[in-house]
Chains A and B, each alone.
Chain A
Amino acid sequence: QVQLQQWGARLLKPSETLSLTCAVYGGSFSGYYWSWIRQPPGKGLEWIGEINDSGNTNYNPSLKSRVSISVDTSKNQFSLKLNSVTAADTAVYFCASRTMTFDYWGEGTLVTVSS
């Protein structure tokens, strides 16, 4: 059974960089796209982007200029960086594995941007 454990800074000031990491346990790291999805409080889901074990990335055009997703296959981990955050980036951030579906999810991290 695949488990995803995520961590990172939970309180940021405007203009800082959001940084989250997700570790994958209990399954193969290959054969998936490793994704980040966010959900502002009380709102819907937004796909941020993804990476596979070869380092191929796909990003949502709405965030592409500020997003970077990287992978460390030696540790079965992948990471999200989002630059120049504002209050609009306040959300629960989920990591997830994707094939045709989002199969496995992290528990989510609430990241708050506030001065």
Chain B
Amino acid sequence: DIQMTQSPSSLSASVGDRVTITCQASQDIVNYLNWYQQKPGKAPKLLIYDASNLDTGVPSRFSGSDSGTEFTFTINSLQPEDIATYYCQQYANLPITFGQGTRLEIK
């Protein structure tokens, strides 16, 4: 299985801050990496696909990038509605695997 090591596991930031989350894949996954946002009691919502492509309707303050097997998710100018848990997910190989999640809180 491909292991996705996501960090940090939790993060506290202020409104307006820039927030960065990383996912390290245990082997090459090209750019087959997606990012999801999950709010309490809800299903995850796709934000970014193929490492750096913003899904339709997702605010432009969200972005993603990759460098080899390390993937970065960034929120520029954190908003109160961004409070959620964020997950990376690889689909290069089955089984599909997710990162452990990053819980984002507002200071």
CA distance A86 to B101 in the complex (A): 24
Chain B: interface secondary structure? Answer: loop
Name B's A-contacting residues (CB within 8 A). 1, 32, 34, 36, 42-44, 46, 49-50, 55, 87, 89, 91, 94-101
Neighbouring A residues of B98 by C-beta, 8 Å:
44-47
Most buried by B among A44, A46, A58: A44
CA distance A98 to B36 in the complex (A): 14
Neighbouring A residues of B46 by C-beta, 8 Å:
101-103
Neighbouring B residues of A98 by C-beta, 8 Å:
91, 96
Instruction: Decide: A102 and B36 in contact? CB cutoff 8 A.
Output: yes
Interface residues on A, range: 20 to 34
Q: How many A-B residue pairs have CB under 8 A?
A: 49
CA distance A108 to B34 in the complex (A): 20
Neighbouring A residues of B44 by C-beta, 8 Å:
45, 102, 105
Neighbouring B residues of A47 by C-beta, 8 Å:
95-98
Neighbouring A residues of B42 by C-beta, 8 Å:
108
Q: Name the CB-closest residue of B to A105.
A: B43
CA distance A107 to B100 in the complex (A): 21
Interface positions of A from 51 to 82, Cβ below 8 Å from B: 58-62
Minimal beta-carbon separation of B42 from chain A (angstroms):
8
CA distance A107 to B50 in the complex (A): 25
Instruction: Decide: B34 and A44 in contact? CB cutoff 8 A.
Output: no
Q: A47-B96, A96-B43 are in contact. List 20 more A-B contacts (CB 8 A).
A: A44-B100, A45-B98, A45-B101, A46-B98, A47-B95, A47-B97, A47-B98, A58-B95, A62-B95, A100-B32, A100-B50, A101-B34, A101-B46, A102-B34, A102-B44, A102-B89, A105-B43, A106-B43, A108-B42, A108-B43
